[in-house]
Structure 1
Amino acid sequence: MSGGSFVAYYRVSTKRQGASGLGLEAQQEAVRGYVNGRAWKLVEEVIEVESGKRSDRPKLAEALRLCRLQKATLVIAKLDRLARNVAFVSTLMESGADFVAVDFPQANRLTVHILAAVAEHEAAAISQRTSAALRQAKARGVKLGGDRGHLSLVAAQGHAASLMSRRAKASARAADLRPIVTEIRMSGAITLQAIADALNARGIPAARGGRWSSAQVRRLETERCLGS
């Protein structure tokens, strides 16, 4: 696209982040740099302070409305700011607005639907695995829940259950990523940083969100070894 009008949509997850600008400046810098590097006009910037799990985002509705009014394209910094669940992506698709993601400009309506479906499936699978891990812990005699008469014991048991849950999530995610990393390696990526770059290029968020680094790939490889 050689030119056109754009409406930027930024999302931060909490009210504190919204007030402090935490995470917002990075999104603005990415979008403004992308737009100003081309013959495009940024007509409006909309900021949403919302949870990523909700689909009823009033500021997004406002941004889409502006896109329709201005005949503009919605521009976002990161694809995972939008592609979290199928219902939400369907709303975007039904709006008729075009969009572009700075970190994944090749994405189209079909790829976003696919990414959203995969993300929703992964979230459901992790939830099921976590519940199964907690049931197994309970079957082994680990008491889950409060016991004010033995606070130190409860704290230790709670820590153990929490650690088990985190490990189960990490192992599940490593298993889900194994075929993708294998495919990346077969394509010629040898170093940890090369794998991280490939994961970022595919729009796959790291364990705690954000972009992959070589250290995160190293931890992923460790999880894969432990889980194999």
Structure 2
Amino acid sequence: METVPSSRYVILLRVSTQKQGADGLGIAAQKRDIKLFLQQRPEATVIKELVEVESGGKELKDRPVLQEAMELCKSTSSTLLVATLSRLSRDAAFVLTLMKDTSIRFQVASMPNAENFQLGIYALLNQQEREQVSIRTRAALAAAKARGVKLGNPNLAEMNRNRKNQARVFADQHCNLIWTLRNGGKTLREICGVMNDSGIKTSKGGVFHPVQITRILRRSPNPAELAA
């Protein structure tokens, strides 16, 4: 394989849906892992960071952002860096196909010492484990059903209703402040800062992240729109 300098990186972040891309769901965790990886390499230079909103099950021809990242790696002699192997793809055959391109070095932040060949092996092992877990789960459920065990929680519907009601009450308590900040031009992360600095806790007693703010905004109407 052609030697590729390890100090130059093209970062690829991938989420599966537009909703995840808009809300930052999954992106924050990927950025955190990649940041930790780069902190161990002070000489590292990030050439570009690309965000892909595509299913990991698609073929390369249907993933233009991944193609762009790979071409950029070739033209700048950079390494393609992802947070986890699943951000490339959950399909082992797809990953193995990528690894055949010897002009590109792939690196995974969660497996910093793995080379292309090893990543291909890990992809095969991960897929095999997922398939075995699925088989074991179906067999266990079938056996339980044969013994007359009633599957599922009979109180699940009531529990879901209670959770939704609690979420609605919590949203109603804080929506005026959050919408005021949002209408004032604050970003989701800035709103989190205000809430956390004020000592306000989430419904589960934790600190606020953008995903919680987004949920509250969705559950409560915008006062500015109602007044219009």
2:53 paired residue number: 49
* Contact residue 83 and residue 115 of structure 1 kept, 8 A: no
Q: What secondary structure does 2:110 align onto? A: coil
User: What is the identity, as a one-letter code, of the residue corresponding to 1:51?
Assistant: S
* Contact residue 6 and residue 78 of structure 2 kept, 8 A: no
Aligned-residue RMSD, C-alpha: 3.0
Cα distance in 2, alignment partners of residues 158 and 105 from structure 1: 40
- Bigger radius of gyration: 2
Cα distance in 2, alignment partners of residues 26 and 132 from structure 1: 33
The gaps in structure 2 that reach 5 residues or longer are: 157-228
TM-score w.r.t. length of structure 1:
0.54
Cα distance in 2, alignment partners of residues 20 and 131 from structure 1: 33
Residue 17 of structure 1, CA deviation: 1.5
* Contact residue 35 and residue 42 of structure 1 kept, 8 A: no
Q: What secondary structure does 2:9 align onto? A: strand
2:31 to 28, 49, 59: 28
1:128 maps onto 2:132 in alignment: no
Q: What secondary structure does 1:8 align onto? A: strand
2:96 paired residue number: 90
The gaps in structure 1 that reach 5 residues or longer are: 143-155, 163-228
Residue 94 of structure 1, CA deviation: 2.4
Higher RCO (CA < 8 A, seq sep 6+): 2
1:106 paired residue number: 113
Q: What secondary structure does 2:100 align onto? A: helix
* Contact residue 9 and residue 76 of structure 1 kept, 8 A: yes
1:152 paired residue number: none
* Contact residue 85 and residue 123 of structure 2 kept, 8 A: no
User: What is the identity, as a one-letter code, of the residue corresponding to 1:17?
Assistant: Q
Using a 3 Å threshold, how does the CA distance of structure 1 residues 83 and 112 change in structure 2: closer, same or farther?
A: farther
1:17 to 15, 20, 31: 20
1:214 paired residue number: none
Residue 89 of structure 1, CA deviation: 1.2
* Contact residue 8 and residue 45 of structure 1 kept, 8 A: yes
Cα distance in 2, alignment partners of residues 22 and 109 from structure 1: 28
In terms of mean alpha carbon deviation, does 67-76 or 78-87 score higher? 78-87
Cα distance in 2, alignment partners of residues 103 and 88 from structure 1: 19
Cα distance in 2, alignment partners of residues 3 and 140 from structure 1: 57
Residue 8 of structure 1, CA deviation: 0.5
Q: What secondary structure does 1:44 align onto? A: strand
TM-score w.r.t. length of structure 2:
0.54
Q: What secondary structure does 1:75 align onto? A: strand
1:139 to 146, 155, 171: 146
Cα distance in 2, alignment partners of residues 30 and 59 from structure 1: 20
Q: What secondary structure does 2:48 align onto? A: strand
The C-alpha deviation readout for 1:168-209, integer Å capped at 9, x for no partner, is xxxxxxxxxxxxxxxxxxxxxxxxxxxxxxxxxxxxxxxxxx
The C-alpha deviation readout for 1:4-39, integer Å capped at 9, x for no partner, is 432101112332221011231342344356447433
1:201 paired residue number: none
User: What is the identity, as a one-letter code, of the residue corresponding to 1:71?
Assistant: S
In terms of mean alpha carbon deviation, does 37-46 or 54-63 score higher? 54-63
Using a 3 Å threshold, how does the CA distance of structure 1 residues 134 and 33 change in structure 2: closer, same or farther?
A: closer
Using a 3 Å threshold, how does the CA distance of structure 1 residues 109 and 135 change in structure 2: closer, same or farther?
A: same
Q: What secondary structure does 1:28 align onto? A: helix
